[in-house]
Amino acid sequence: MQRVTWAELFFDLVLVFAVTQVAHEVSVGAGWADLGRSLLLFVPFWWAWVGCTIVFNGLVISATRRHLLLLAIAGAAFVMSISVPGAYANRGVLFGGAYCAARIMLAFTMRMRGAFRSGLNPFTVGLGAGPAWLLAGFAPADVRQWIWLGIALIELSVPIVLGHRLDYMQFDASHLPERFGLFIIIALGETLVGIGQGGTLHPLKGVEAVALFVAFLLSCGLWWTYFQYGASAVEHALRTAKVPALLVRSSFSYGHMSFVIGIILAAAGMAQAVAEPKAHLQGMHALLLGSGVSLYLATFCYTRIMMFGGASFFRAGAALLAIIITVFSPGLPALAPLAMLAALVIALNAFELYWVDAGRPLLVIKVWEGAAED
């Protein structure tokens, strides 16, 4: 059984900074275009982290080589992180160059796993994506964003098209779920940073104190939703999957990316609600919190369908209710949707706990047979 190393945890600290940078850009954006540009910058961070996690899973090399490689890639990710605020201005080349360096180092490491023996596959295409991000950094800002979007879409689609060429790969069923679970912790940490900053900068009395407390409860609820049952289900699915690589592509790479984006949106929304609990947020800002929570809950449905063939009826219903709350959020004080979403998530967790402890069968919306044993 492979355990997470100290070097991997140090690498994760760099990603904490990256998530914070992206979440800040989301919160200060003026509209939907800014939101899209901010989330676009998260894509290379995600693929660099996923690449590291996959390639070091089961890789037998000396501890010294492992640590040096991880620290070098962490250095590239750190440069990417400090470049986020100016990525569409004067730091596009720096951002793209750092990602290019990370991709080259990943390619060197992936050769040890035999990732290049199948010719064209997601890893080999990813090697070409790095220089493409770098070259696009030289383009004017209004052109650069579209080139980066095109490259990101290619990176996102390649595992779907070419992922089957890596179906031969085997994975340690303890290490991989632990790594992805730790990234969920990283993202959830951003919710605490956001609301904590609000509590630091504003007086803790009356409605402001209530908003801070409710936001913390929502963060706890989001944690519970994943780690009470979801984390163990992910590990069980990977252990029993007929083709583990299929789950690594769907539930891990895509599913957890969706989890993290949902948390980033929710974190930005919570920070704004704590800062201005009485304000009627407008436009995109009024929808960040609810859309993040609904995406987070809906992703559980997607990952469970991919793992076991069916979505939880309870979580699907909760995701739908979160969408309804989101629709009405612009007409309400920021504290109102925050409180309703916190109550929804806590009620979902409490009901699931009651249902499971009572030994009742899970109500599932069946879609297919699933990639693993339920």
- Summarised one tens digit per residue, pLDDT across range 37-78 is 999 999 999 999 999 999 899 888 899 999 999 999 999 999
- One DSSP character per residue, 118-180 reads TSSSHHHHHHHHHHHHHHHTTS-HHHHHHHHHHHHHHHHHHHHHHGGGGTT----TTHHHHHH
Each residue of 208-244: pLDDT tens digit?
999 999 999 999 999 999 999 999 999 999 999 999 9
Return the exposure string of 296-327: e unless at least 16 CB atoms fall within 10 Å of the residue's CB, then b.
Answer: bbbbbbbbbbbbbbbbbebbbbbbebbbebbe
> CB-based contacts of 94: which residues, under 8 Å, 6+ apart?
79, 83, 86, 137
Query: Model confidence over 20-29: pLDDT tens digits?
Result: 999 999 999 9
Residue ranges per structural domain of the chain: 6-166, 175-366
pLDDT for 169 equals 86
Q: What mean pLDDT comes out for the span 133-157?
A: 97
**Beta partners for residue 364, in sequence order:** 312
Query: Which value, to the nearest 10 degrees, does the dihedral of the CA atoms of residues 139, 142, 144, 148 take?
Result: -170
Assign 115 a pLDDT band (cuts: 50, 70, 90): low
Q: What 3-state class would DSSP assign to 363?
A: coil
Which pLDDT score is estimated for 332? 96
Q: Report whether pLDDT(195) > 70.
A: yes
Residue 204 clears pLDDT 90, i.e. is over it: no
Mean pLDDT of the chain: 94
- β strands within 251-328, DSSP E: 310-312
Please measure the distance between the N-terminal and C-terminal CA atoms of the chain and give it in whole angstroms. 22
Where residue 120 falls among pLDDT bands split at 50, 70, 90?
A: confident
Phi, psi at residue 359, to the nearest 5°? 75, 20
Average pLDDT score over residue span 10-20: 96
Give pLDDT, residue 60.
82
Q: Which whole number is the average pLDDT over 10-17?
A: 96
pLDDT at 279 over 80: yes
Exposed / middle / buried, residue 95 (Cβ in 10 Å: 0-12, 13-18, 19+): buried
**Confidence class for position 116, pLDDT limits 50, 70, 90:** low
10 Å CB burial of residue 96 (0-12, 13-18, 19+) is: buried
pLDDT attached to residue 110: 81
Name residue 200's amino acid.
T
Query: pTM for this one?
Result: 0.96
114 C-beta neighbours (distance < 10 Å), count: 11
pLDDT in tens, 71-82: 999 999 999 999
- Please answer whether residues 262 and 295 qualify as being in contact, where contact means their C-beta atoms are separated by less than 8 angstroms: yes
